[in-house]
Amino acid sequence: MSDKTIRLVIDLTYDADLIHGNDEESIDWFNRMLFGDDLQLGDFGDLGDMIGSVKVIKKELNNDRTT
């Protein structure tokens, strides 16, 4: 396998109410998932292909804990 790394700067838009709501434990889970080493990038079209792994390198803080 010939691994390559491409650095991406992304804006993640998600439904906070659906993903974690106001529950502190769920927010902590979301942050661990997002900033852990097991985040995956996939194409969920017809085939649902797994593209590769994603690791968040930098987080720009707003007023919200999870953005």
What pLDDT is recorded for position 14?
84
Domain ranges for the chain: 1-59
Using an 8 Å Cβ cutoff, are 29 and 20 in contact?
yes
Which tens digits make up the pLDDT trace of 9-67?
887 888 889 889 999 999 999 888 888 888 888 887 777 777 777 888 877 765 554 44
Those residues with Cβ within 8 angstroms of residue 61's Cβ, 6 or more apart along the chain or in another chain:
67
> Phi and psi dihedrals of 41, rounded to 5?
-110, 125
The pLDDT, as a whole number, for residue 25 is 96
Q: Cα–Cα distance between 45 and 29 in angstroms, integer?
A: 26
Largest CA distance in the chain: 42
pLDDT value of residue 67: 42
